[in-house]
Structure 1
Amino acid sequence: MEVFSFERQIKHYSSYQKILLVGEGDFSFAVCLARAFGLAVNMFATSLDSRESLMLNYSKAMSNVMELEARGCKVLLEVDVHSMSQHPFLVSERFDRIIYNFPHVGYLHSPFSAECNRFQNRFHQDLIRGFLQNASEMLTAIGEIHVTHKTTFPFSEQKIVEFAQGVGLYLVHEEHFSLLDYPAYENKRGAWICDQPFPVGMCITFKFTKQHGYTTSGFNLGITASGPWSGYSGIISPHMQWSHQNLVWAYFKSAREMLTETGEVHVTHKTTFPFSEWKIVELAHEVGLYLVAEEPFSLWDYPGYENKRGDGLCDQTFPVGMCSTFKFAKLFYHSSPSCFHLGITASGPWSGYSGINGPRMERPFCI
C-alpha cells in the first residue's frame, strides 16, 4: 500500500521503527503512538496482565486493545519483562525501540505503602535490572531502550543508569518527559487502584543503547546518522571524555589571558550525565578561574538563537535539556602570597563575594 512509504512521527518515535512497549497498563500509550502513525504494523504492545485482569482493573483497556489490533499492532498479554526475550512470539524479534514507562512492581501492603521502604525499593531495582537485561538482548544494532521514570527521591534511588551499565548498556541521552507530548496517554497506577492516574512530577526519559566496538582507547556506538548523537564516537567513552575535557581546559586557559580585571568567562553546558563528568568547574580552577555564579539556561531567553550540533548533522538542532551557564572570574594576587581575592567591582551580581561555593576556598591558592 502506498501509505507505507510515508513516515509519521511523534516525539522520539517513528512509524518506520520497530517498537516494543512493555508494562502497558491500559495500553493508552500504545494507542497514542498508533494514532500518530495511523497504522501500527511495526508495533508490539505487551502487558503482564491477563485478559481477565485487564477487563477487571482498567475501564478502557479492552477498547484500547481492539483499536490497536485494528491498526495492525500485535498485542501480547502475560509477558514478564524478566523473561520476555524468551517469549515464543518475541524470541526471534529485534527492535529499534523498546519502551518502558514508569516501571513499578506494585505495592507490598497497600496503595499507601511507602515508596522509600527499602524492601519496596529492592523489588523495583530487581524489576528494572531484569527488564534491562532482557531488553538488551532484543535490540537491533541501532536500537535504543527508553525508560521513563520519576527523578525525585525515592525513585532516584532505583539506580537505572547504573543497572543499565551493569548489563552492557550505555546512556546516550536523557530528556524531560511531559504528558502533553502524548495525547491519549493516561498513566495508570497499575496496582491496587489500577485505573487511577498518578502525578508524574519531574520525569526523565533515559535512552540506552548497546555497547560494542571496544578499543583500547574507548568504544564507538554502532549507529546511523539519524540519531540525536549521530557521528559521536561514544559520549562517555574514556577517550571521548578526555577529548572534551581537553577542549574545555584549553579554552579556559586562552580565555583567562583575554579577560579584563573585572571580566567573566561564561560557559553554558548540559548538567546531566554524562556531561556532568566533564568537570568544568574543576578544569577552570586548574587554570586560575573561579566560579562566581551558576544560572539555569533557557533558549527562551535568546530569541533568534538556534543551537546546532556542530558534528555530523551540523545544521540540525539538539535538545538542550537541563543546562547551566557557569560564570568564572580570574583569581588575583592578594597582598599576602598565601591567599587571593577576586578583582571585581561592586557593579557585578557577585560583587564583594570572596568565595560563594568554591571548594578551593578551604585552602589558599596563588597564581
Structure 2
Amino acid sequence: MMEQPSYSRTTVDELQSLIGRSDLAERQPRVERKLMHYSSLQTILLVGEGNFSFSSALATAFESAENIVASSIDSEEKVLRVYDRARSLIENLESRKALVLYEVDATRLHEIEDLSGRKFDRIVFNLPHAGYFPGGERSKKAIKKNKQLVSMFLESAAKFLSSFGEIHISNKVGPSYRKWNLEGEAEKYGLYLKESVRFRKTDYPGYMNKRGSGARINRTFRLGECKTYMFSKV
C-alpha cells in the first residue's frame, strides 16, 4: 500500500488559508466605478477615437480597462504620428488591459474579426464626422455624408448590442446637425431614443476632442452645445 504523504501542521494551515482566500475572492462582488453614464461593470466599445483620450479617461476612472475595447479608423502608425500624447494615452489603456484596435471602420464593425461574437452594453461614437466639405457643415453634401455615416454606424453597431445595451452618439446641437435625423435613422434598425443629455468634455478629465481629418487633424475645435443621444432596442 502506498504511503500517504505527511504534511506538517503549518503546511496544512497554509493550504487551508489559501483555499479560504481563493473562495472569498470568488465570492467578492466586483467594485463598480463610474464616470458619467459609464461603469466598470459594462462592456464598452468605443469607435472613432482620435488620440484615445476619451477611452483613456474612462480607463483611468475605472482603474481598470478590461471591459473596454477602444478603436480608431486610422492605422497605429498614423495615430502615433499625428496626435499629441497618443502614445501615453494608448499605453495607459493597454496597461489597464484594454483592447486597442486600429483601422476599424465604424460603419463596418461586423467585418472586424476581433469583434466577432461579442456583445456590448455601451457602444460609443463621439462627434462623428464624415470629413470637411466646401461650404462647411451647412452644405447639402456635408449633411448627406454625415447622415449616411451615422446611419451605417447604427446599422452595424446594432448587431453588437447586449439585450439591454445602448448606442451613444454625442453630437453638436444646431440646425445643420438636426438634419442628420439621428432618431429617424436609428428607427430603421429597431433602435429607439431613450434619452438625450448634455455632453461636456470637462466631465471626462483629460479628454481632448480632435478634428480627425484635414491639415488641422490634431487641433481641437469649439464644441458649443452638444448632447449625447442614447439609443436602445427596448
Common fold by TM > 0.5: yes
Aligned-pair Cα RMSD in Å:
1.5
| 1:209 correspondence with 2:222 | no
Could you tell me which residue of structure 1 aligns to residue 75 of structure 2? 50
Of 104, 107, 130, the match for 2:129: 104
* Partner SS, residue 45 of structure 1: strand
Number of the residue aligned with 1:126? 148
Are 2:182 and 1:160 aligned?
A: yes
Kept in 1: contact 2:66–2:98 (CA 8 A):
yes
What is the alpha-carbon distance in structure 1 between the residues aligned to residue 191 and residue 69 of structure 2?
A: 22
Which amino acid is 1:161 matched to? E
The partner residue of 1:170 within 170, 187, 192 is 192
Secondary structure of 2:197's match? strand
Normalising to structure 1: TM-score of the pair?
Answer: 0.55
Q: Indicate whether 1:138 and 2:163 are aligned.
A: no
TM-score (ref. length: structure 2): 0.85
**Separation of aligned partners in 2, 1:57 and 1:108:** 21
Residue identity opposite 1:72 in structure 2: K
Letter in 1 for 2:143: N
Q: Map residues 58-69 of structure 1 onto 2, 5 A cutoff.
A: 58-69=83-94
Preserved CA contact (<8 Å) 2:120 2:160: yes
**Secondary structure of 1:145's aligned partner:** strand
Counterpart residue type for residue 128 of structure 1: V
Q: Where do 1:230-309 residues align within 5 Å?
A: none
- Residues 1:198 and 2:225 are matched in the alignment: no
Q: 5+ unaligned residues in a row in structure 1: which ranges? A: 211-220, 222-367
Partner deviation per Cα, 1:250-293 (whole Å, 9 max, x = no partner): xxxxxxxxxxxxxxxxxxxxxxxxxxxxxxxxxxxxxxxxxxxx
Cα distance in 2, alignment partners of residues 91 and 108 from structure 1: 34
| Aligned-partner SS, 1:137 | helix
Amino acid at match of 2:137: E
Q: CA deviation at 1:86?
A: 2.4
Hey, what's the Cα distance between the residues in 2 that align with 1:48 and 1:173? 27
Letter in 2 for 1:9: K
Match of 2:61 in 1: 36
What displacement does 1:108 show?
3.2
State percent identity of aligned pairs: 38
CA offsets, 1:220-267, max 9 Å, x none? x3xxxxxxxxxxxxxxxxxxxxxxxxxxxxxxxxxxxxxxxxxxxxxx
Q: Deviations for 1:132-172, whole angstroms, at most 9, x for unmatched residues?
A: 00111100001000000011121121111110011110111
Write the distance in 2 (CA, Å) between the matches of 1:209 and 1:85: 18
Conserved 8 A contact 2:133-2:139 = no
- One-letter amino acid of the counterpart of residue 207, structure 1: M
Structure 2 residue ranges without an equivalent (≥5): 1-21
Is 1:15 matched with 2:37? Answer: no
Structure 1 or 2, whichever has the larger Rg, is: 1
Task: For residues 171-194 of structure 1, give each alpha carbon's deviation from its aligned partner in whole angstroms, at most 9, with x where no partner exists.
Answer: 111101112211111111111111
- Residue matched to 2:211: 189
Greater than 4 Å deviation, 4+ residue runs: 1-4
Structure 2 CA distance for aligned equivalents of residues 206 and 115 of structure 1: 20
**Which structure is higher in helix share?**
2
Give the match for residue 301 of structure 1.
Answer: none
- Residue 117 (structure 1) aligns with: 139
Partner of 1:189: helix, strand, or coil? coil
Write the deviation string for residues 16-40 of structure 1: whole angstroms up to 9, x where unpaired. Answer: 0000000000000000000000000
Q: Which amino acid aligns with 2:128?
A: P
Corresponding pairs, count = 208
Give the C-alpha shift of residue 55 in structure 1.
2.0
Structure 1 residue 68 displacement after superposition? 0.5
Matched, 1:88 2:75: no
CA gap of 1:83–1:5, structure 2 versus 1, over 3 A, is: same
Contact 2:43 2:120 in 1 (8 A): yes
